[in-house]
Amino acid sequence: MVELSPEVKAQLEEQKKQCVFCKILNGEIAAKKVYEDKVMIGVLDINPAAKGHMLLLPKEHYPILPFMPPANFVHMFGLMPNLINALRNAMVCSGARVFIANGGAAGQQSSHFLVHMIPGDKGDGFNYFSFDKLGLVDDNKFKQFNQVMENNLPVMMRKHFQQMPNNWFKGKPGNADFLADIKMKQQVLYEDEKVLCVAHDNALTVGHYVVYSNEERSDIEKLDVESSAHMFYVASYCANAVFQGLGAHATNIIMKTGTCSDNAEGRLCIHVLPRYGNDGLDLLWKPMENKGNLDDIASRIRDQMFEVEHSQKEVRKVETLDLDAKELHKISDSKDVDVKTESAKDEIEEALKKYRGE
Ligand SMILES: [Zn+2]
């Protein structure tokens, strides 16, 4: 676990007292619960972007994703295929999105880190994550930072593999046919057996990156625990790197799976975006006007989640890897890369300041 200074600990305690989601977790505030295990709960969003929009809340209060210890990270994101599968079955839809905001400038609205899961369908009109507009990106700055990432990401991933050993990494990039067009058009920043990470060709901003799976073109449901967690790990390292390297105020991590309005090609992908106050990017949805019957929706999702709650043997095996989370923060300390370096503790305090908008 990350070591926090007494000041940061005190700030976190203050945050927890005010936190609506901690109050939901301890039963002080009612919510429509649809899922629970020992690490997290799922509740319906009361202002849904789409029918079945739910929130995954870690039971611990973490202000942003980098505070989450590796065991819980692997648990939450390793289960994503099962959770998305259950949600899609409940809502009978062709796709889904996962939205994560680290920091206010990215649209984080509570001090409790959480994950939005938003069902999606072909032609559902939800186009907030299309990323098809040409960004006003300075080409030179874009390329310059891509180079920093191309040097840095493999170093970060090597350290990650030292900390969390596995039996699949041999350093041989996957060669998925369905990614050939992407590899041809876009700058590759990192690849291994399981993932491909590229600079987005329609970047909204410098540091807009995309992680694809080398194993599956469309549906996260087809990935196993390790592959799903790994995709999110690479996205999370990217987010930390752009946060520090570009001095961003916040970051978004947005996964799309299956076919939706904003994913017409139905590609499984995770976008990473650095965010700044007033950056003009509009990624926040308007709540639905006709929410439908929330009790009915909750009960449908709960029925499908039952099996996920009761089939977690495989996840527990991975969970025993309780490793030093400091590395999650110390992502840019390699000497050959021109990225700001700070100690893990400073980074956390810095993140908290940015998070509070100071
Ligand atoms: Zn909380």
Say how many Å lie between the CA of residue 252 and the centre of ligand 1.
Answer: 20
Amino acid 96 reads A
Say how many Å lie between the CA of residue 12 and the centre of ligand 1.
Answer: 9
How confident is the model over 251-300, as pLDDT tens digits?
A: 999 999 999 999 999 999 999 999 999 898 889 999 999 999 999 999 99
Say how many Å lie between the CA of residue 318 and the centre of ligand 1.
Answer: 26
Please tell me the distance from the alpha carbon of residue 124 to that of residue 316, in angstroms, as a whole number: 36
Burial of 36-45, coded b for 16+ CB within 10 Å and e otherwise, reads bbebbbbbbb
pLDDT exceeds 60 at position 316: no
Say how many Å lie between the CA of residue 343 and the centre of ligand 1.
Answer: 26
Using CA atoms, how far residue 70 sits from 113, 156, 232, 263, 328, in Å, is 15, 15, 12, 30, 8
pLDDT at 320: 38
Say how many Å lie between the CA of residue 113 and the centre of ligand 1.
Answer: 8
What angle is formed at CA 120 by the lines to CA 119 and CA 125, rounded to 5 degrees? 135
Task: Copy the structure tokens of residue 169.
Answer: 């990494």
Say how many Å lie between the CA of residue 93 and the centre of ligand 1.
Answer: 31
What ipTM, to 2 d.p.?
1.00
Say how many Å lie between the CA of residue 8 and the centre of ligand 1.
Answer: 15
Q: Is 213 left (phi over 0), alpha (psi -120 to 50) or beta?
A: beta
Say how many Å lie between the CA of residue 111 and the centre of ligand 1.
Answer: 6
What angle is formed at CA 128 by the lines to CA 133 and CA 225, rounded to 5 degrees? 110
Identify which of 116, 143, 146, 138 has the alpha carbon closest to the alpha carbon of residue 55: 116
Higher pLDDT, 321 or 1: 1
How confident is the model over 180-220, as pLDDT tens digits?
A: 999 999 999 999 999 999 999 889 999 999 999 999 999 99
List the shell of residues around ion ligand 1, using CB closer than 5 Å: 19, 21-22, 61, 112
Say how many Å lie between the CA of residue 191 and the centre of ligand 1.
Answer: 35
pLDDT at 212: 98
pLDDT at 282: 85
Say how many Å lie between the CA of residue 57 and the centre of ligand 1.
Answer: 9
Write out the H or E segment, with its range, that includes residue 139: helix 139-163
pLDDT exceeds 80 at position 136: no
The CB-side HSE value for 130 (13 A sphere, CA atoms) comes to 16
pLDDT exceeds 60 at position 314: no
How confident is the model over 55-84, as pLDDT tens digits?
A: 999 999 999 999 999 999 999 999 999 999
CATH class of residue range 6-356: alpha beta
Please tell me the distance from the alpha carbon of residue 190 to that of residue 175, in angstroms, as a whole number: 13
pLDDT at 354: 54
Say how many Å lie between the CA of residue 61 and the centre of ligand 1.
Answer: 4
pLDDT at 336: 32
